[in-house]
């Protein structure tokens, strides 16, 4: 029970990595506000967390919208009285080779994968600074270093790292840590949407010989959220079975 009694907010928790993170934090003792585009989509995650005996607040919101992003942080604090852990996991991709990428593809990914992280981190920072404690964990990607067809996604995910490191510097004196996790290749609906030959090519390059699971990422989030990680801030942790070193 590494986060017993803590209050966490996880975005993108309806499926995939976000769901894995929410369920792990619940198993480790946190009560949670969980966010996705619709509250109905969160039903399965709510059921798992309720079975584990956790209090859960499901919230439907588009976190790329500033008012809705501010709203979910406010709703979590109103429901539970405080917020200890923020995990920004909601994300999308709109891949295209650079010279064919449209403005719409660029804007959509920057909005959800970067601006939403800023909105939620800012809102949480106001609260966590006042309380003198807190954990911010942002899900970036191994693609932040550049990936063919992902100029928008790589730019957003690199931006998340700059944002996280700045938050770490600014918030360290206030007892708040901020870290980023870069998943490598994790089996979710996002990656299963790839053409099968691309899937096999990437999976075949993973030194550990298997594709990652949402639980692999959830385990690292649980550590960063725990008291054991109190002296860890501004770090970027790859969770990729050696895919990117």
Under 8 Å between Cβ of 145 and 131: no
Give the side-chain half-sphere CA count within 13 A for 131.
16
As a whole number of angstroms, the distance between CA 182 and CA 240 comes to: 8
Among 76, 164, 185, 218, binds ligand NAD (CB under 6 A): 185
The distance of closest approach from Cβ of residue 91 to ligand NAD in the complex, given in angstroms and rounded to an integer, is 2
238 binds ligand NAD (CB under 6 A): no
Pick out residues in 77-96 that bind ligand NAD (CB under 6 A): 89-92
As a whole number of angstroms, the distance between CA 13 and CA 239 comes to: 19
Q: What is the separation of C-alpha 227 from the centre of its chain, rounded to a whole number of angstroms? A: 19
Closer to ligand NAD by Cβ: residue 131 or 192: 192
Closer to ligand NAD by Cβ: residue 53 or 162: 162
231 is catalytic: no
Binding mask 159-178 for ligand NAD (x = CB under 6 A): --------------------
Q: What is the 3-state secondary structure (H, E, C) of 6-58?
A: CEEEEECCCCHHHHHHHHHHHHCCCEEEEEECCCHHHHHHHHHHHHCCCCEEE
Q: In sequence order, what are the beta bridge partners of 56?
A: 32
The distance of closest approach from Cβ of residue 19 to ligand NAD in the complex, given in angstroms and rounded to an integer, is 7
Closer to ligand NAD by Cβ: residue 44 or 228: 44
Q: Is 242 left (phi over 0), alpha (psi -120 to 50) or beta?
A: left
* Residue with the two structure tokens 């064919």: 100
15 binds ligand NAD (CB under 6 A): yes
Pick out residues in 19-48 that bind ligand NAD (CB under 6 A): 35-37
190 binds ligand NAD (CB under 6 A): yes
The distance of closest approach from Cβ of residue 96 to ligand NAD in the complex, given in angstroms and rounded to an integer, is 16
Catalytic residue among 106, 119, 144, 153: 153
As a whole number of angstroms, the distance between CA 190 and CA 244 comes to: 19
Angle ∠(212,38,137) on CA atoms, nearest 5: 45
The distance of closest approach from Cβ of residue 199 to ligand NAD in the complex, given in angstroms and rounded to an integer, is 10
Pick out residues in 44-73 that bind ligand NAD (CB under 6 A): 62-64
139 binds ligand NAD (CB under 6 A): yes
Closer to ligand NAD by Cβ: residue 92 or 158: 92
As a whole number of angstroms, the distance between CA 228 and CA 109 comes to: 34
List contacts with ligand NAD (CB under 6 A): 11-12, 14-18, 35-37, 62-64, 89-92, 112, 139, 141-142, 183, 185-186, 188-191
- The catalytic residues are 153
């Amino acid at each position: 029970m590494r986060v017993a009694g803590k209050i966490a907010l996880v975005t993108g928790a309806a499926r995939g990595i976000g769901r894995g993170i929410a369920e792990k934090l619940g198993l480790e003792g946190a009560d949670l506000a969980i966010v996705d585009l619709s509250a109905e989509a969160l039903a399965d995650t709510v059921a798992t967390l309720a079975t584990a005996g956790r209090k859960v607040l499901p919230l439907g919101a588009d976190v790329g919208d500033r008012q809705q992003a501010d709203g979910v942080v406010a709703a979590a604090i109103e429901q539970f009285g405080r917020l200890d852990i923020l995990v920004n996991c909601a994300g999308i991709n709109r891949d295209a080779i650079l010279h064919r990428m449209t403005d719409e593809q660029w804007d959509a990914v920057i909005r959800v994968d970067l601006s939403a992280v800023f909105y939620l981190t800012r809102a949480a920072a106001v609260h966590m600074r006042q309380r003198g404690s807190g954990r911010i964990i942002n899900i970036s990607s191994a693609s932040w270093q550049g990936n063919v067809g992902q100029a928008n996604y790589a730019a957003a995910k690199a931006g998340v790292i700059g944002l996280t490191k700045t938050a770490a510097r600014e918030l360290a004196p206030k007892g708040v840590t901020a870290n980023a996790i870069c998943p490598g290749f994790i089996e979710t609906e996002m990656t299963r949407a790839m053409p099968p030959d691309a899937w096999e090519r990437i999976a075949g390059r993973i030194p550990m010989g298997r594709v990652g699971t949402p639980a692999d990422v959830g385990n690292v989030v649980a550590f960063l959220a725990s008291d054991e990680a109190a002296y860890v801030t501004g770090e970027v942790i790859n969770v990729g079975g050696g895919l990117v070193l």
